[in-house]
Structure 1
Amino acid sequence: MENEIKDYEVTEIGTIQISPQVIEVITKLSTIEVEGVAGLSGGFTEGIVEFLGRNKNTTKGIKVEVGQKETAVDVSVIIKYGYPIPKVAEEIQQSVKNAIESMTELTVVEVNVHIDAIQIEEKDE
């Protein structure tokens, strides 16, 4: 059992374990603050589940894997029309990586950004 991989850190007085939900919230907040992001996208299946009222998840569109020292993140977003998609995606990657690493001291091994849609502003008539 000595070689068992743990997903928590052992200190002198106990353990520290970071929940995947914590990483999801950090990812959400650091993603929506990027200019050009209209919001998170949960995809078609999550949209139906949410419409039916069975999904109370406030971090739709985010999937994380959390280990003892590392984490990986997938985030699905909607980009505002007119913004350069590659630039916004790179800014999301940096924002998420910086926020997670500074708040949790976990190493972010990857941030995968999935562009699910473009939001087109409708003009008021």
Structure 2
Amino acid sequence: MNEGTEQGLIHISDDVVTSIVGQVVLDTPGIAGMSGSSISDNWAKRLSGKNVKKGMSVEVKEVDVAIDLQVIVNYGCVIQEVCYILQQNVRNAVENMMGLSLVSVNVKVEKVALPF
């Protein structure tokens, strides 16, 4: 995303959006991780601060964003509620932190993380 100001140009990289959304996903209660990687990989990424890109598609245009997420939900959670909260958390982060309009947050639950 590029935006012009009186002082110059502001560019927000797609990786920035991905990093923020990835952290929001992992911080949402009931979400075990992103699909496309193991749960232990997600914990390693969370602890190391690396971007979470697997299971996520982010399309950034001039002033708006569309996001598709593939997630793993913890067993025993009400899936609809967890996904609704996730959508709200992502929307709040994108709109408040970056000043972008969020067109859609599509959530696909691909797995349920069973307790060990």
TM category, shorter? 0.7 to 0.9
Tell me the amino acid that sits aligned with residue 62 of structure 1: M
| Residue of structure 2 in register with 1:42 after alignment | 36
Compare the two structures and name the one with the higher helix fraction: 2
| Residue of structure 2 in register with 1:14 after alignment | 8
Tell me the amino acid that sits aligned with residue 78 of structure 2: P
Instruction: Give the CA deviation at 1:37.
Output: 0.5
Tell me the amino acid that sits aligned with residue 84 of structure 1: V
Larger radius of gyration: 1
Q: Is the 8 A contact 2:64 2:101 kept in 1?
A: yes
| Residue of structure 1 in register with 2:80 after alignment | 86
Tell me the amino acid that sits aligned with residue 19 of structure 1: S
Tell me the amino acid that sits aligned with residue 64 of structure 1: V
State how far apart, in whole Å, the 1-side matches of 2:78 and 2:72 are. 12
Percent identity, aligned pairs only, is 39
| Residue of structure 2 in register with 1:100 after alignment | 94
Q: Give the number of aligned pairs.
A: 104
- Per-residue CA distance 1:60-100 (angstroms, 9 max, x = gap): 11110111110011111000000011100001000000011
| Structure 1, gaps ≥5 residues long | 1-6, 44-55
SS at match of 2:19: helix
Instruction: Give the CA deviation at 1:117.
Output: 0.2
SS at match of 1:63: strand
| Residue of structure 2 in register with 1:49 after alignment | none
1:111 counterpart = 2:102? no
Instruction: Give the CA deviation at 1:57.
Output: 6.3
State how far apart, in whole Å, the 2-side matches of 1:24 and 1:74 are. 11
What TM-score results when the alignment is normalised by the length of structure 1? 0.78
- Please provide the CA RMSD for this pair: 1.5
| Residue of structure 1 in register with 2:70 after alignment | 76
Map 1:16-35; keep pairs closer than 5 Å.
Answer: 16-35=10-29
Q: Is the 8 A contact 2:23 2:52 kept in 1?
A: no
